Structure 1
Amino acid sequence: MELLPRSPGEFGSARYWDRFFRQRGQRPFEWYGAFAELCPVLHKYVRPRDKVLVVGCGNSELSEQMYDVGMCDDIINIDISDAVIRQMQERSGSTRPKMSYLLMDMLQMDFPDAHFQVVLDKGTLDALLTDEEEATIAKVDQMFAEISRVLQVGGRYLCVSLAQAHVLKKAVEYFSQEGWVVRVHQVASSGDKQQFVLPVFVYVMTKFRKIPGSAPQILEICPEEQDKPMRMECVEQLVAAVKDRQHYALLCSQISKTPCREQVSLDLCDKESRKPRYTLHVVDSPLVKPSRDNHFAIFIIPQGRETEWLFGTEEGRRQLAASAGFGRLLTVALHREQHYEGMAGIQAELSGKVMELAPPGLPARQQVPFLSVGGDIGVRTVRHCDTSPLSGEYVVEDVKGDGSCYFRRLIFLRNRSVVQSEARLLAPTPLQGQKKRRKDKKKPSPTEPPGAIDKSYLCCEHHKAMVAGLCLLGGPDALPGDEAGSGRLCWGQAHVAVVEIDPSMLEVATHWFGFSQGDRMQVHISDGLDYVAKLAAEAPAQYHAVMFDVDSKDLTVGMSCPPPAFVEKPFLQKVRNILKPEGVFVLNLVCRDARLKESVLATLRDVFPLLYVRRIEGEVNEILFCQPSPEGRCNPTELGVRAQALEGALRQPGRPWDSSYVLADVLQAVHIL
């Protein structure tokens, strides 16, 4: 039996619908939106004494169900199909005396003006607005004009729809321009098997008298039944919000049927600010054998630790899911702009949402565990936030790490998943003879971190590798400085020139990270490209070491460190020119584009005859050590000896040193390219 139309235009044809209902017979055709799902919304906008008009009624049971439950009984149904009107008159004529079915075209209705309090449309607009051709738009405009004419001021046009973008946009634009209040409800799913994966929406257009001039549009969305309406600023924003809900429904439908081959990521936004509140990643572990208790778990990442490799990378999350032993692990990252009421509050807030992302085969009424590190949500304190013309918005925050350690971090908000700078904070030490605090004085919070920077500790593994690369200089005697005029070179008198393009970052480093300049440490506010070019022209071969750890502001390039201009051949030749023959150029390379990476390495080989690499485990970073002379080649044994000598020179009394940092261990993974 062929019920589909030959073309979308037939949806507006009486002949098509006559044929459709004759072939279908008495079986109700609901298309979408079961009565139980629509009831909560209908009860808000349909009152028992309202006079209700249902346009394009078909043989849906919606009017009969509204009548039977007492929602209202003064209901007039119209349709262009003579066949279906006869069917419905026979079906309801004797049992529902106050409800009528009339053969009528909704584009030319016979009712007087302002005759109804409610016009109800279930799928009729969707069927009519199948394209955006001029003739179709003209019919829709005529339909809207007739609905407006027969509705009283204060009346409601309720349109049940799948909310295709062009349908929603047309309806919202038309009625908002007429001065009506527009609110879009998402209909809660009953969980039964549905013909459509997409969620059902109800547009509620409330008629007001049109005010001359430019009255503000009132556009709202209620994504869930219990939610307060969210005000939208424009039609495009409302359409985008509906589109997000549709994408989410498609995602939930997809991952509820089959395991995810790739990790799925999505943001859940705060209902008031509409800013991301939670970032979720769905991670499936195909090697985990399913049992009753290991199908699904939720892992709450402690605040401030979302940038760590285990939580902030695909490979890390995959490892986390496998070690946790669950078929599907949902990781939840918390955002710094949001406030959270502890683990219990997060569980209460997420419990309904996360079950929509449950894996296939999850047993009914299965308890899903919430996991975390240490059983809490961590500590994050934002110390400073500002905006730089060069770096954009940034924050300085203190976070709690493992155990009792606290760390201070600089984050550029344009790239929230990357820690720009990090330092460990020293634990507070009580002063000798310090008197006990008076009971009436406020005690510090046990979760409040200290503020002093531990300058002996390098938090980033790639920074440790960059420092260790100085061993390639041949030991402490090869480093710059002069002791007692003897010409003996030593670490203790090395001079460092720091180049920073953003003056705001110098302020941040000084105020928040304990940085200070001195006779042997000078900061130059300049573009690194310009500074190196100037040195190459004025004073070549003056540096023993040049280090690049430069982030790229262009996130569209597959190389986030350094910017491409820093690894172009003419510039690298200038870098070589400012190095002494025995010097070393140390480069932090972060490149996810394999072809681009090979191109960069080839250029480096052209300029520097000797090239070492140290890959950072669990990160994309690779530290490259480039030397202008092949005569500096070291074997592993010699490199280890140099590392011990350098470390011995640095571990002097009175100089802070992290005992866990062993240069020889860092250099074991270095090899020649």
Structure 2
Amino acid sequence: MLTASKLSSTSPIPATNFQVSIISSMMETSLPFDAITPSQFITFEDLNPLNHCRLLHTLQLRVAVLDSPTAKSDDESPVIATMIVPENMETDWNFCTESGHINLLFKFENISRLILIGNTPPPDQELDDYRRPPDFDPEEREMVKDELKPLIRVLHPKVSFNHGLLPEPLFVIYDDNVAYRVTIAKFTGPIVGEFLVEDVELVGNQQLRRRMRFKRTPNLIQSEVILHPFSLFDITTPRDLESLRNNKNVTFEINTRLFVHQYLIAMVSGLSVISSYLNKHLSQMTLCLGIGGGVLLNFLLTQMGSHLTGVEADPMVLEAARRHFGFNKSGPMEVFYPIVGDAIEYIQRFPRNKHRFQVVFVDLDASEANNEFRAPPPEFVKKSVLQGLRFLVSENGVLIMNVVPLNEVLYVAMIEELKEIFHKVYEIDLENEENFVVIATPSADSSSNVDDRDNKFLKKLRSVIPGTYLNSIVEL
């Protein structure tokens, strides 16, 4: 997952006479950066001004400037932040696309303008392999920041120079846990657009993962599974991913029985809310809105014996799941109905005389970054859609949603609407500053008592997932 440092505020420094002349010159010059313009996105290349150029080493630097869609043009104290693009990641969608830039901006709070500065990548070249570069000496990194200050100040709006003061640039950091990454497949879907399937090795422990990422939301890992190397011969060569891929005797297997994303564990934990009912219906009819790599569905098939219906908007995502994530390979005895179509349309067209589902999972993300919800899409939390979801759930069933709110007010409003539509609403706070799992039940008889020792379903649930989340369910 992408992690980022918090912004640290720095007071402006008094300007010298020479600096005052610079300020006056900038105030008199009309530049596209002289005011905050919501959603303005500008990229350009400029000569590399650095003396210490190991970190930023190309003759020209690529600069990208994005004003937040939610910024106010009349803000007298806009927050301007700068990020240095990590080496070898110049062609990663996070840093070379507007959608990636927007996603990075929304990782932080209250940023009005985010400036990216990085090496200029070779023309028309994509880096399919990524190797994490050595860590730079902190003192050298600070020297680079000092040398970038004049360029960064030129990219500040005029209001930042009020009162004869030079703004002290603020830097934010991109960091992840990837030591090595290789693209194994590229797809273009009619709905989601371009997306990648990647194999990665994590820093420090040589754990291997397979991931799916969309270009429209590049810093969001859509699906992730554990990857195991397998060989008929004893593997005595190094077990790093690059060496394993070069070993012709090694193949890779997908683990469909364990979750990487913690929110999926929490979603399955939500079944405990109706454990007394499910104890009488061990093979529950389950609907999953959003398939992605099929991680949740594979788990429900192999571990819980669910009878599943899955809805996926994009047929190419379903194809990638089948080819690269071990999806729908659980044996002929399982029942599974993959439906390619829009989730909202499926809800609206659901036949009134059809049997409802005992369990409905919603794991959908927004098609683009916004200031409302990253998951589910903002249009999905409208009252009419929530009412449609209520109709899908049987009287003793449960609705379980992955929710990533970027707006606390809208999240609270969604919870209140769910309370009007369903009888009880619960929450699991994953405490990662992002995900919540929201659980809703139509029946007053639903119980979140997870200590029922005679409940076979609950025992089964406890045997396949950690008990931490079972004990974290809170009624709202």
User: TM-score, normalized by length of structure 2?
Assistant: 0.61
* Residues paired across the two proteins, number: 357
CA-CA distance at 1:504 after TM superposition:
0.7
Contact 1:581 1:628 in 2 (8 A): yes
252, 263, 267: which one pairs with 1:462?
A: 263
2:430 maps to which of 604, 608, 616? 616
Q: What pairs up with 1:76-115 in 2 under 5 angstroms? A: none
Residue from 506, 511, 518 that aligns with 2:323:
511
State whether structure 2 residue 403 is matched by structure 1 residue 403: no
Q: Contact between 2:208 and 2:241, CA under 8 Å: does it hold in 1? A: no
Shift, 1:569, TM fit: 2.1
Counterpart CA distance in 2 for 1:668 and 1:345 is 40
Q: Quick check: 2:186–2:194 contact (8 Å CA) kept in 1?
A: yes
Shift of 1:646: 3.1
Aligned pairs for 1:502-651 within 5 A: 502-516=314-328, 518=332, 519-540=334-355, 542-634=356-448, 638-641=449-452, 645-646=456-457, 648-649=459-460
Contact 1:546 1:585 in 2 (8 A): yes
Q: What does 1:653-672 correspond to in 2, within 5 Å?
A: 657=464, 661-662=465-466, 664-672=467-475
Closer, same or farther: CA 267–580 of 1 in aligned 2, 3 Å: same
Q: Give the equivalent residue in structure 1 for 2:214.
A: 412
How many Å separate the matches in 1 of 2:85 and 2:241?
34
1:179-328 aligned within 5 A: 188=49, 228=59, 264-268=81-85, 275=91
Q: Is the 8 A contact 1:479 1:494 kept in 2?
A: no
- Partners in 1 of 2:338 and 2:401 — Cα distance? 19
2:185 to 384, 392, 407: 384
Aligned partner of 2:243 in structure 1 is 446
Q: Which residue of 2 aligns with 1:235?
A: none
Provide closer, same or farther for how the CA distance between residues 629 and 463 of structure 1 changes in structure 2, counting only shifts above 3 A: same
User: Helix, strand or coil for the counterpart of 2:228?
Assistant: coil
CA contact (8 A) 2:188 2:194 kept: yes
Q: 1:570, 1:500 → 2: CA distance? A: 21
Cα distance in 1, alignment partners of residues 354 and 379 from structure 2: 22
Distance 1:627 1:413 in 2: 35
Give yes or no for contact 1:544–1:580 (8 Å, CA) kept in 2. yes
Tell me, in whole angstroms, the C-alpha distance in 2 between the residues paired with 1:535 and 1:419: 30
Measured in 1, the distance between the counterparts of 2:183 and 2:265 equals 26
The percentage of aligned residue pairs carrying the same residue is 21
CA-CA distance at 1:564 after TM superposition: 2.8
Q: Secondary structure at the match of 1:464?
A: helix
Structure 1 residues 436 and 459, CA gap change in structure 2 (3 angstroms): closer
How far off is 1:620 after superposition? 1.4
Would the alpha carbon gap of residues 628 and 337 (structure 1) be closer, same or farther in structure 2, given more than 3 Å must change?
same
| Contact in 1 for aligned 2:452/2:458 (Cα 8 Å) | no
C-alpha separation between the residues in 2 aligned to 1:520 and 1:564?
Answer: 32
After superposition, residues 93-172 of structure 1 pair within 5 angstroms as none
Q: Aligned with 2:451: secondary structure? A: helix
Question: Given the alignment of the two structures, is residue 356 of structure 1 paired with residue 147 of structure 2, yes or no?
Answer: yes
Letter in structure 2 aligned against 1:671: V
Question: TM-score, normalised to structure 1's length?
Answer: 0.45
Q: Contact 2:359–2:398 at 8 Å: present in 1 too?
A: yes
Amino acid at match of 2:197: V
Separation of aligned partners in 2, 1:243 and 1:409: 27
Shift, 1:357, TM fit: 6.2
Inter-CA distance 264–537: structure 2 relative to 1 (3 Å threshold) = same
CA 1:503 to 1:242, structure 2 compared with 1: closer, same or farther past 3 Å?
Answer: closer
Matching residue's letter, 1:646: F
The alignment status of 1:423 with 2:225, answered yes or no, reads: yes
Q: Deviations over 1:54-84 (max 9, x none)?
A: xxxxxxxxxxxxxxxxxxxxxxxxxxxxxxx
Output the CA distance in 2 between the equivalents of 1:416 and 1:494. 32
Correspondence 1:36-55 to 2 at 5 A: none
Structure 1 residues 642, 414: CA separation in 2 closer, same or farther (over 3 Å shift)? farther
Q: Residues 505-557 of structure 1, C-alpha deviation per residue, up to 9 Å, x if partnerless?
A: 100110010001654122011111122223252315x2110110111114234
Distance 1:626 1:436 in 2: 49
In structure 1, how many angstroms separate the alpha carbons of the residues matched to 2:46 and 2:335? 66
Structure 1 contact 474–642 (Cα < 8 Å) conserved: no
1:407–1:423 CA contact under 8 A, matched in 2? yes
Distance 2:316 2:48 in 1: 49
CA displacement, residues 285-319 of structure 1 (integer Å, 9 cap, x when unaligned): xxxxxxxxxxxxxxxxxxxxxxxx9xx9559xxxx
Letter in 1 for 2:260: C
* Aligned partner letter, 2:192: S
CA RMSD of aligned residues (A): 5.0
Hey, what's the Cα distance between the residues in 2 that align with 1:274 and 1:445?
Answer: 21
Higher relative contact order (CA closer than 8 Å, sequence separation 6+): 2
Rounded Cα–Cα distance in structure 2 between residues aligned with 1:496 and 1:576: 18
Matched residue type, 1:506: L
Structure 2 letter corresponding to 1:403: N
Structure with higher strand content: 2
Closer/same/farther in 2, CA of residues 393 and 643 from structure 1, 3 Å limit: farther
Letter matched to residue 405 of structure 1: Q
> Do 1:536 and 1:578's aligned partners in 2 also have CA atoms closer than 8 Å?
no
Q: Is the 8 A contact 2:225 2:325 kept in 1?
A: yes
Contact conserved, 1:269 with 1:275, CA < 8 A, in 2? no
Letter of the aligned partner of 2:261 in structure 1? C
